[in-house]
């Protein structure tokens, strides 16, 4: 059996129907996830308990036979590993003790702290079906920094923008520490068995003009260059969510092999300028999975039409929501696989 996603990324194959996986494919829309989540007690415990993290990673693969499996972890494990206090409030989301400089953060405990995550990767590479590609991931520095500085998710990332404006030295120092930690973390994921990497820059959309070049493109590129310098050769997917008219610049400059695209932009307008050496991914509105049926299928048709003749990985424009009926996910997968 072939690993379709890996061979699409390596330009070895252009299958009749696009391979598929979904961002946040393991999560609260699945009753079996909620069961294991309860057992783990809290979310970070789930991330750091290899057997349980492996189990929830495998759940959507058993149920839907996606072409890729994404390691179950979180982008906020990096701040935790660097020594910042991180916790999750039930029903609300992440909380961190806010910081305004890299003072007090240390890379010294990173590898020991992340060992349970590496063990999850290792279990997955033993237990996944041979045809399923294993994706490792991390947050991109700007997105991780927005949480570290604000201490929580924010609608406009204003606290991070304020630090960048008021104390560029402290802000850049923090970004540099995240870059360094992320290189080490992702290189280790690959050592333990990750076959592809994705960098999530979920809040790239609030960086405009020159800021987009300096704090989105440059740090994503620094991580990718750092990985290549260490001899890591796996394909890398970039996801500068909300990048609007800068998507193609990002794809050309950051050194990615694939570009994940959100649902707020016209797909054709991005791929018409995207070199065909770069694979496209994503763009389906996660909300259409709540309705399912004809409305969902017609949005799928549009994406398949727009990407005909190029290498494309079917995915959402952002994570699946917890309100998605699991049956709609099976309908989606069957529809795409029968379209070829
Ligand atoms: O299946 C997968 O995609 C793999 C696991 C994964 C999670 N988070 C699990 C998770 C991945 C790839 C992430 C990435 C992540 N985490 C991002 C980037 C992608 C994006 O969504 O923009 C961000 C910004 C985070 C930070 C984070 N983690 C937030 C803001 C939240 C709270 C929001 C929410 O949905 O609860 C989390 C929690 C989280 N991460 C959950 C899961 C399954 C839900 C936790 C729970 O079970 O209560």
The CA 340 to ligand 1 mean position distance, Å, reads 32
Q: What is the DSSP string of 245-265?
A: GGHHHHHHHH--SEEEE-TTS
Instruction: Give backbone dihedrals phi and psi of 121, rounded to 5 degrees, phi first.
Output: -60, -45
41 lines ligand 1 (CB under 6 A): no
DSSP assigned state of 213: I
SS3 state of residue 196 = strand
Confidence of residue 137 (pLDDT cuts 50, 70, 90): very high
Would the CB of 95 count as within 6 Å of ligand 1?
no
Residue 5 has pLDDT above 70, yes or no: yes
Residue 339, pLDDT score: 84
Give me the active site residues, please: 24, 28, 37, 74, 147
* 64-80 average pLDDT score: 98
**pLDDT band (50, 70, 90) for residue 102:** very high
The pLDDT value given to residue 1? 66
Q: What is the pLDDT of residue 2?
A: 81
Could you read off the pLDDT of 282-327 as tens digits, one per residue? Answer: 999 999 999 999 999 999 999 999 999 999 999 999 999 999 999 9
Nearest CA residue ID for atom 40, ligand 1: 74
Using one digit for the tens of pLDDT, what is the confidence trace for 37-60? 999 999 999 999 999 999 999 999
What is the pLDDT, as a whole number, of residue 273? 97
Q: pLDDT confidence of 129, banded at 50, 70, 90?
A: very high
Count CA atoms closer than 13 A to 167's CA, side-chain side: 13
The minimum-distance atom of ligand 1 relative to the CA of 34 is 47
- State the distance from the centre of ligand 1 to the C-alpha of 74, rounded, in angstroms: 6
In the predicted model, what is the mean pLDDT of residues 225-237? 98
Site to probe by mutation for ligand 1, drawn from 23, 26, 27, 96 as the one with most ligand atoms within 8 Å of Cβ, is: 27
8 Å CB contact between 64 and 330 = yes
Residue 313 in contact with ligand 1 by CB distance below 6 A:
no
Alpha carbon of 122 to ligand 1 centroid (Å)? 21
pLDDT score at 16: 87
Res 187: pLDDT: 99
Q: In this structure, is the dihedral angle defined by the CA atoms of residues 6, 11, 17 and 22, taken in order, positive or negative?
A: positive
Pick the CATH number of 4-338 from 3.20.20.70, 3.20.20.210, 3.40.140.10, 3.30.420.40: 3.20.20.210
Nearest residue CA, atom 45 of ligand 1? Answer: 43
3-state class (DSSP) for residue 284: strand
Beta strand ranges found along the chain (DSSP E): 68-70, 86-89, 93-96, 133-139, 196-201, 236-240, 258-261, 279-282, 312-313
Residue nearest to atom 31 of ligand 1 (CA): 93
Cβ–ligand 1 distance for 28 under 6 Å, the answer yes
If you measure from the C-alpha of residue 137 to the centroid of ligand 1, how many angstroms do you get, rounded to a whole number? 12
For residue 14, what pLDDT is reported? 80
Q: Is the CB–ligand 1 distance for residue 312 below 6 Å?
A: no
pLDDT tens, residue by residue, 197-227: 999 999 999 999 999 999 999 999 999 999 9
152 C-beta closer than 6 A to ligand 1: no
Residue of 147 and 11 predicted with greater confidence: 147
User: Would the CB of 94 count as within 6 Å of ligand 1?
Assistant: yes
Predicted confidence (pLDDT) per residue in 245-286, tens digit? 999 999 999 999 999 999 999 999 999 999 999 999 999 999
- Protein residue whose Cα sits closest to atom 42 of ligand 1: 27
User: What number does the ligand 1 atom closest to the CA of 56 have?
Assistant: 1
Ligand 1 atom closest to the CA of 37, numbered from 1: 47
């Amino acid at each position: 059996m072939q690993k379709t996603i890996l061979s699409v990324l390596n330009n070895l194959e252009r299958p009749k129907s696009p391979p598929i996986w979904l961002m946040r494919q393991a999560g609260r829309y699945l009753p079996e996830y909620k069961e294991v989540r309860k057992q783990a007690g809290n979310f970070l415990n789930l991330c750091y308990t290899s057997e349980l993290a492996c189990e929830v990673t495998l759940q959507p693969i058993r149920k839907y036979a996606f072409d890729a499996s994404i390691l179950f972890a979180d982008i906020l494990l990096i701040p935790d590993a660097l020594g910042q206090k991180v916790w999750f409030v039930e029903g609300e989301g992440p909380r961190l003790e806010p910081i305004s400089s890299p003072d007090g953060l240390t890379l010294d405990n990173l590898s020991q702290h992340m060992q349970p995550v590496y063990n999850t990767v290792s279990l997955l590479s033993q237990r996944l079906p041979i045809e399923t590609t294993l994706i490792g991931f991390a947050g991109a520095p700007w997105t991780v920094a927005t949480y570290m500085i604000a201490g929580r998710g924010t609608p406009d990332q204003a606290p991070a923008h304020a630090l960048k404006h008021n104390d560029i030295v402290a802000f850049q120092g923090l970004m540099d520490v995240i870059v360094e930690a992320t290189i080490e973390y992702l290189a280790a994921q690959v050592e333990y068995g990750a076959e592809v990497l994705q960098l999530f820059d979920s809040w790239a959309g609030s960086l405009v003009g020159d800021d987009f070049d300096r704090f989105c493109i440059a740090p994503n590129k620094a991580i990718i260059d750092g990985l290549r310098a260490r001899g890591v050769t796996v394909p890398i997917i970039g996801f500068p969510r909300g990048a609007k008219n800068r998507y193609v610049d990002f794809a050309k400059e950051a050194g990615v092999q694939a570009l994940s695209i959100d649902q707020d932009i016209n797909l054709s307008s991005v791929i018409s300028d995207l070199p065909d050496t770069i694979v496209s991914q994503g763009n389906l509105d996660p909300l259409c999975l709540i309705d399912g049926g004809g409305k969902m299928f017609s949005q799928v048709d549009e994406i398949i039409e727009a990407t005909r003749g190029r290498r494309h990985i079917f995915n959402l424009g952002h994570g699946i929501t917890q309100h998605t009926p699991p049956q709609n996910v099976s309908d989606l997968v069957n529809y795409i696989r029968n379209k070829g």
